[in-house]
Structures are given as structure tokens and as C-alpha cells.
Amino acid sequence: MEKFERHQGAVAPLDRANVDTDLIIPKQFLKSIKRTGFGVNLFDELRYLDEGYPGQDASQRPLNPDFVLNQARYRDASILLARRNFGCGSSREHAPWALEDFGFRVIIAPSFADIFYNNAFKNGLLLISLDEDIVDQLFSDVEANEGYSLDVDLANQRITKPDGEVLTFEIDAFRKHCLLNGLDDIGITLQDEAAIRDFEARHRQARPWLFRQAQ
């Protein structure tokens, strides 16, 4: 997992509450053998005017001009501003995979669904919950200023606005530690690499037949 220390990026506003994982990535795209490549189908039903299916050439599909991510000013956004209960619905890990693959690193919303929250951190996304009125203010700021961007500093738990105003946010210590150091479950286990190597050497000596190849 990539380390997350500080991120500066453009913000896109998705003004809709209860965005569920089916909306983030519809079920027909779950058959893939990959964890990548879901970005073109992120928010598929909102983003395109036709029905999506796996293997389509997305560049030929009719775009919904009203959808926020299709507007030129938000195309390069890497911070998503969202509404309450973002990520509800099924447990599919494809949802954070799709958001990440599209290029998002940070999502700011008043609240997130539990499982999605977990899955997102496992995949290197930083989710920030801010009070509803602060989020409201951000929505107006973003809409009023083209090219609006934020500077997110995880180590100090601070968000700096273009005008210099600073917002602070909460995050649990363990998740922060994992993100700052780029640790996923595997990363955490690998912190015990020495203990594993040590065990393996003793195990190999005691039971060498477990380490043999076919003859």
C-alpha cells in the first residue's frame, strides 16, 4: 500500500446522500479477475447515459454531461466531497478499488458506512468525517471557485483551504499509523518479518521434510 502523508489536490463535489456501493460500482463489473481497472466504471450509472457491461470501450459511450465528474473543471479531482452515509450497501471491496483507480485519495463527508470505511483504509484511501455545516460550507466554496483545491496533512490532522483557513479532523491512531507508513494487513505482518524468519529457520531445522520439493 502506498504511504499517505500529505496530499494536495482538486476537489469534486458529489451532492447526494446515501451513495451506496452499487452506485459506486455496479455488480456486473465484479466478475473481473483484477483489482484494478474499475475506474472507468466508477459511478457507471450516473456517469454514462447507456447501460454498462464489462469489456465495453468506455471512450465510445455517451457521457452524462450533468454528472459532476464529467465536467471539465472537476476531471482531475483527487479529493471527493460527499454527503452523509457515503458507501452504504454491500461489502464489495470493488468500491474502494474503483475510487482509487479513478484517482481519488481522499473522501470528505459528514459520515461513512462502516464496512466501506474499513475497506477504504485497507486500500490506501483517507476518509475524513467533518461536521455537516463545515461540509456544507465546503460545497459552496468548491462550487464558487473553479480549480478549488485542498491541502490534506495526515500527520498533523489538518486540512488547509486555499485562503489559509485550517480545519482539523479526527482519525483513530491505528488507522493513521497504517496509512502514514503504508501498512496494510500484509504490511503489518511483515513488521514481524524477523520473527517469521526466525521461526522458519527453526522449523526447517526441526522438520526438514516439510521444505522438500518433488523428486
Q: Which residues bind another protein (CB under 8 A)?
A: 1, 31, 33-36, 184-186, 189-190, 192, 195-196, 199-200, 203, 207-215
* Residue 32 Cβ vs another protein, minimum distance, rounded to whole Å: 9
* Residue 197 Cβ vs another protein, minimum distance, rounded to whole Å: 10
* Residue 60 Cβ vs another protein, minimum distance, rounded to whole Å: 20
| Dist. CA 28–CA 44, nearest whole Å | 11
Closest CB to another protein among residues 16, 203? 203
> CA-based Rg of the chain, rounded to a whole angstrom?
21
Closest CB to another protein among residues 35, 158? 35
- Indicate the angle between helix axes 173-180 and 114-122, nearest 10 degrees: 30
Q: Where are the beta strands (DSSP E) in the chain?
A: 6-13, 79-81, 106-109, 126-129, 149-153, 158-160, 166-168
C-alpha cell at 142: 468548491
Closest CB to another protein among residues 84, 122? 122
C-alpha cell at 156: 498533523
Closest CB to another protein among residues 72, 210? 210
* Residue 200 Cβ vs another protein, minimum distance, rounded to whole Å: 7
